[in-house]
Chains A and B, each alone.
Chain A
């Protein structure tokens, strides 16, 4: 989310909206099974070195990858003096809190500029044109391997990044970039479901006790009240979870599985007239326009702010992530990186290290609304007591009784253990990606 939920002036388009749009890839060419066979099931590039250097290496949890390094794209030397700046951040709109940037500027005596992109493609086209001098960039994890293969990112020098020890251990060595050679994790979230109990009178415990929580979307009684994200990977994943639960392969290249998921969505449309939205979870459910919506944990966490009567309506909100009960569910993170063309690479490293400081990261989280993966962050320290020095700053405190949080949204906190059970959607080779996007376009054609 990119607005500050406390600030009505920023209730415009959120950063997640931009992400959604960027991911909402559209129509594509039908591809043949032959092309797929050529791609192989694991996608291109396996673990470790080898293979063509210009082919992106997409890791999976089962097959983590070390991204390739190039002699002509080395990391910066250690112990260098920071440049004079100004440091230029290139990010989604409103995806970093300006006061945190000011804190950094004050600490190092430099000016910090914040420039924004609309989607990944726009950002990459700018990098390719060579006309830009951004120092810090925020790619999604599916783009990191591509940016590395395109030599658009520089390797990180971890001598400058001592604060990465504050991250959850699992986040220090992510499967898509072993050793965090090129990227550091930024925010984290899982994809579950959010609803209002006055429209959908079900408790999470009931879903957990049932045999398939995803079936709730396919309930004809909820016609006109159900929404999913307008993001091709997320939408089709819902169809897959419906049929395969924890056996779902989020990165499948099997046309039959992808088409079956498409047909599930078409069936969902026939049954309930499903809506595809960009704001249905964080605004639509709290406002009562939707009874049930696919939801990122961070979206519904800010839900109370969007209710018209928080005291009455916020307690009606529920969030459930089926993976915690063995039904399978998606978990994800965004990243920071330093472009190969950065004019202030030392300063950029210092900035990343600054953001790896717990206080700065959590201060930023209070405004951005999406959680950060730090050891100091867990349900008790944050949800019960809040972080020292940041009490009452959090989104979910909005209009809560007696300054307390909303118990009913506690499940939106992402824990370190969630990453052990959640499924990851990784980057896909172009031909496979086309299968996914054309299946989604067919569903969207109605």
Chain B
């Protein structure tokens, strides 16, 4: 039985190798199908991992409180439209919400920074010493400013990696002076590069104590936002509610009035982003799966043409003693061989395509073993499924008609 099967497999493979071009073109459908399933799922996975890491880069368990309402109905104009968060609010949050482990009031202003004979338009962001901890951000060199320097509204600055390059080129910016609105600041630290994320370039900025921005640069008395870090992910929801009720109380908002601030919950964003990318991965995989199906129909198509074209060959084989089952097995094995070949090449092409995509940009597709197994398995199943009908047609041919077939 086994030798019979291997004999038939031999016949099938010889028949395929006699028609290399046609076999190759038939397999191409499966190759493209399998490769696109693998590459698309890898792209989806890569997107999910990248978005997750970007959300994580915002900081662990981060709540950001913005002044102004985010509600679009009524008269509220949106986040940041009214400057109503005060330093007293921040102190109250720090005092009364026990889950808060770190907190940083934030104010910012665009400004022209002048140093080293160059000038560069960037954003000046005022923060507290906790800021780097909250954002999980490291310094490439130097030190963060202290609480004391905040109280003194000291003229010291941390410089983003890109801003440093623009202003100082290859020079070491540490200890240098940068002038912002004609006020000289001493650079005490250089930030590590964090890359572009969430719609803004985080490496082009200068971070100074928030008091310095408020007193020396803008004269504002209100905060734009507050970054708050919560002790654990489980307490995020509770902390958000406490902050909400605290601020409503402090702002004397009656039950009929909506919030005059909004809270951005990093965990919610992460969850939403991850569910969106899962849907995108499924969608990409499904589209690629359709191309795999089309590839399978291509195999059936070519096999049917092949049965017709090789009618005489089938007649000869039957005449010299091939059983109907042998003819059927031959064509079935031909179809399966094509799909296994196509599947194997497709796996390689899929991994190659994913690698190629990762070379072209800062995006990195992640090939998953599951998608390889699935795509390969489906392609073999397609070979069996779509090979069956042509094989049955071949086996049912009448030898006399087949031998006369022109």
Are A and B co-members of a single complex?
A: no
Interface positions of A (Cβ within 8 A of B): none
